[in-house]
Structure 1
Amino acid sequence: MKLWDKGQGADAKTDQFTVGQDRELDLLLVQYDIQASRAHAQMLGQAGLITGEEATSLITALDEMAEEVTAGKFTIGSDFEDMHSRIEYLLTERLGDTGKKIHTARSRNDQILVALQLYLKAELSGIRGQVEGLFNRLMTLAEEHQSVPLPGYTHLQVAMPSSFGLWFSAYAESLIDDVFLLNAAERVADQNPLGSAAGYGSSFPIDREMTTKALGFETLKYNVVAAQMGRGKVERTTATAMASVAATLGKFAMDICLYMSQNFDFISFPDHLTTGSSIMPHKKNPDIFELIRGKCNLLQGLPNQLFLLTTNLTSGYHRDLQLTKELLLPAVEQLKSCLEMATSSLAEIRVRIDILKDPKYDYLYSVDTLNERVLEGMPFRDAYREMGEAIAAGTYKPVTDAKHTHQGSIGNLCLEEIRAKMTQALKG
């Protein structure tokens, strides 16, 4: 069944090419299409476009369909183009002519828009919750290991003293920036496009404010052309926020992989969180974090893919936009799985407490030693030159007990302030 079929169906090759992955992907969206159809039926009844009895029948049938989705019994067979055609077919099968009235005053264009935006609102909220979970895990680790020393690096060269507390809380606070972007993406999605129909509204006296409230949108997308122009834009905005989370997570995964190598040996995980080699019995590979790194690197390319797909499209609907689902929906699942694995694995991370006993890390303290000279009254540039000469001559003796007291330093992590900032960010 195709909602646009006027009696002359497409051939099999055309059908296969144009439908693409819609049937599979729509199973992720169908609960939201049913939710929107329910609100639409209620609005049609109140606007007098269908009778109250017809509205009640449609709502009851849609509620039953929603239960089938929850139970995993809802399917979209090859006879149907997408979830829209399947839902309308089932309504007509159960209600006769009343089922055929559900499409009054709407189009598949605003149907998919509203379903997609309801889906993205829910998924963005869920991702934000997972980010909060990772944040809390990192902050707990920062508190537990705040005084455990760790070498700091620039250019992958030994640089200055750091700590596990500083490292863990650095990624925790970075996640707050990602929450800001998730909030922004949710705001873009939180505008009701239902009623824009094919992008130019309709002559039916519909009540778009009513469906906006019924569906829990913050506001509606007033201009019907602007509503349709949101297709592609809402996906790009969401992808940008997801890419930001992925960038933070991918960088952290790279640190994990580096610090687990025998050359560093700063951290380790239990055997059940690592993998081995088919020929090297000593191997404990960080496959979980390597895959997180790889998946997150691919996720960072998602906004560019969506920009390339949509960049030269005029206003109004184009079939190209169907492809946004094939890019975005699997990416949502990938990011969620990466967040889940990172958070659960970190519960079992083990850190080394004696790293800085190795003499090669004495140079971490060159800046602190230099600063001691400055505090004693020596001009900075003279102290810098003197320190360089001592290092070159092999007479350098590090000062290892210098205090770092300013906000955000190894001696003053400001963990409570970081927690308060995240609390505020989560409020939107």
Structure 2
Amino acid sequence: MKLWEKGITVDEAIEKFTVGKDRELDVYLAPFDILGSMAHVTMLESVGLIEKAELPVLLDALKKLYKKAVDGEFKIEQDVEDVHSQVEFLLTRDLGDLGKKIHSGRSRNDQVLLDLKLFIRESIREVVAETGQLIDTLLSKSEQHKDVLMPGYTHLQVAMPSSFGLWFGAYAESLTDDLELLSSAFKIANQNPLGSAAGYGSSFPLNRQMTTDLLGFNNMNYNVVYAQMGRGKVEKIVSFALANIAATLSKLAYDVCLFNSQNFSFVSLPPEFTTGSSIMPHKKNPDVFELIRGKCNKIQGIPQQIALTINNLPSGYFRDLQVVKEIFLPMFGELDDCLSIANLALGKLKVNENILDDARYDYLFSVEEVNKLVLQGIPFREAYKQVAADIEAGSFRPDKSVNHTHEGSIGNLCIGKIAEKKEGIVRNYHFEKMDDAIRNLLA
């Protein structure tokens, strides 16, 4: 059975091709589809499209389905097209004609829009939590190793003194900015499309503000045509923000792989966090960070895939958008896995505290020597030439102490300021508003 069936049997190959992965992927959306139906029927009762006595019966049945969905027991049957159809068929099976009333004033178009928005909100919350934990770990490692110097590089050439405090803290602040960008994507997603129906509204006297409030949205997509046009656009915006987190993780993973190699030996992983070789008994490979790098690079390609799918579509709904769902929905789980395993592995990462004992890093301190001469009154360009001449003559002998005090430098990492910045950004998501709304809806 299909909601749109008119007595004509669809060719089996055509049906298989057009359904695609909807049954598999719509399981992601099942809890959110049910929540949306609860808000929708509550609104329908308020405008007289459902009897007062019918509402508690529908809500009770929907709450039972929601529990099944949350517990992983909700299934989309083989002859059912999608999650929207499955929910309606289950209600009709249990409640008879009453179950058929829930579709009044809706289309599957605005249902899937709503499901995606609710899914995105909850999934972003999980990414924010995982990212926040990783930031905390990085800041803790930054504090722990703030006095351990390491080489800084430009052009992959030894450049100036850095520290593990700076290195860990840099990625913490980078992820903090990534959360700021994600918060903008969250705000764009956190707008209610329900009531836009197939993209042109409904002749029923719907109360869209009521469903907006019931589901804890910040506001609604007011224009019903734009609500439908937002399908694909929202996924592209959100995927771009997630890809920025993935880019930071990928760069971090590359650093760890590089620094873990014998030619650097800056860091090491415990043996239980590495893998071996089938023929080389000495190998301890950082596969975990290589896979984080590979998976995060894959994630960074998703915004482009979505853009290429939607960028030549006119206004209105098209089935091309089904392909976007297949690309987009698994993205959150993949990124969450990378964030979680990176947090675990970085927590166990060991730092070599004696890197700069090696004479190959002596020239790191050339700028420090130039600056000392400048403080003695020698013009900078003259001091630069003097130190350069000592290096060429082989007479350069560095003082390996570093005294940096300005904000964000080796001696003043501003760890607390980065932590404050992160906490402020996380608070501004206002997840509590959607939590309160969903809690009240399920009460």
Would the TM-score normalized by the shorter structure come out above 0.5? yes
1:127 alignment counterpart: 127
Could you say what secondary structure the match of 2:160 adopts?
strand
Measure, in 1, the Cα distance between the counterparts of 2:397 and 2:322: 66
Measure, in 2, the Cα distance between the counterparts of 1:56 and 1:406: 63
Measured after TM superposition, the shift of residue 70 of structure 1 is 2.3
Q: TM-score, normalised to structure 2's length?
A: 0.95
Measured after TM superposition, the shift of residue 122 of structure 1 is 0.6
Superposed CA deviations along residues 247-284 of structure 1, whole A, max 9, x for unmatched, are 11110000000011000011111111100001111000
1:165 alignment counterpart: 165
For 1:5-404, what aligned pairs fall within 5 Å after superposition?
A: 5-404=5-404
Measure, in 2, the Cα distance between the counterparts of 1:176 and 1:72: 33
Question: Which runs of at least 4 in structure 1 moved beyond 6 Å after TM superposition?
Answer: none
Measure, in 2, the Cα distance between the counterparts of 1:339 and 1:257: 16
Measured after TM superposition, the shift of residue 73 of structure 1 is 1.8
Superposed CA deviations along residues 198-228 of structure 1, whole A, max 9, x for unmatched, are 0000100111111011111111111101111
Measure, in 1, the Cα distance between the counterparts of 2:58 and 2:10: 30
Q: TM-score, normalised to structure 1's length?
A: 0.99
Query: Given residue 155 of structure 1, which amino acid in structure 2 is its aligned partner?
Result: H
Measure, in 2, the Cα distance between the counterparts of 1:284 and 1:253: 16
Measure, in 1, the Cα distance between the counterparts of 2:195 and 2:38: 14
- Give the unaligned 5+ runs of structure 1: none
Measure, in 2, the Cα distance between the counterparts of 1:58 and 1:15: 31
Query: Given residue 197 of structure 1, which amino acid in structure 2 is its aligned partner?
Result: A
Measure, in 2, the Cα distance between the counterparts of 1:73 and 1:402: 60
The count of residues paired between Structure 1 and Structure 2 equals 428
Measure, in 2, the Cα distance between the counterparts of 1:384 and 1:36: 68
Measured after TM superposition, the shift of residue 399 of structure 1 is 2.6
Q: For structure 1, which segment, 98-107 or 48-57, has the greater mean C-alpha deviation from structure 2 after superposition?
A: 48-57
Could you say what secondary structure the match of 2:151 adopts?
strand
Measure, in 1, the Cα distance between the counterparts of 2:32 and 2:87: 12
Query: Given residue 239 of structure 2, which amino acid in structure 1 is its aligned partner?
Result: A
Query: Given residue 315 of structure 1, which amino acid in structure 2 is its aligned partner?
Result: S
Measure, in 1, the Cα distance between the counterparts of 2:423 and 2:2: 48
Query: Given residue 81 of structure 2, which amino acid in structure 1 is its aligned partner?
Result: E
Could you say what secondary structure the match of 1:52 adopts?
coil
Query: Given residue 60 of structure 2, which amino acid in structure 1 is its aligned partner?
Result: T
Measure, in 2, the Cα distance between the counterparts of 1:25 and 1:177: 31
Whose RCO is larger (CA < 8 A, sep 6+)? 2
Query: Given residue 252 of structure 2, which amino acid in structure 1 is its aligned partner?
Result: F
Q: For structure 1, which segment, 312-321 or 376-385, has the greater mean C-alpha deviation from structure 2 after superposition?
A: 376-385
Measure, in 1, the Cα distance between the counterparts of 2:74 and 2:415: 47
Say yes or no: does 1:413 pair with 2:413: yes
Could you say what secondary structure the match of 2:87 adopts?
helix
2:434 alignment counterpart: none
2:438 alignment counterpart: none
Measure, in 2, the Cα distance between the counterparts of 1:99 and 1:399: 80
Query: Given residue 362 of structure 1, which amino acid in structure 2 is its aligned partner?
Result: D
Could you say what secondary structure the match of 1:293 adopts?
helix
Query: Given residue 28 of structure 1, which amino acid in structure 2 is its aligned partner?
Result: Y
Query: Given residue 133 of structure 2, which amino acid in structure 1 is its aligned partner?
Result: G
2:422 alignment counterpart: 422
Measure, in 1, the Cα distance between the counterparts of 2:258 and 2:82: 46
Measure, in 2, the Cα distance between the counterparts of 1:55 and 1:7: 31
Measure, in 1, the Cα distance between the counterparts of 2:324 and 2:222: 23
Query: Given residue 413 of structure 2, which amino acid in structure 1 is its aligned partner?
Result: L
Could you say what secondary structure the match of 1:398 adopts?
coil
Query: Given residue 208 of structure 2, which amino acid in structure 1 is its aligned partner?
Result: R
Measured after TM superposition, the shift of residue 72 of structure 1 is 2.1
Query: Given residue 339 of structure 1, which amino acid in structure 2 is its aligned partner?
Result: L
Measure, in 2, the Cα distance between the counterparts of 1:402 and 1:164: 14
- Give the unaligned 5+ runs of structure 2: 429-443
Query: Given residue 2 of structure 2, which amino acid in structure 1 is its aligned partner?
Result: K
Could you say what secondary structure the match of 2:53 adopts?
helix
Superposed CA deviations along residues 75-106 of structure 1, whole A, max 9, x for unmatched, are 11220111011111111111111111111000
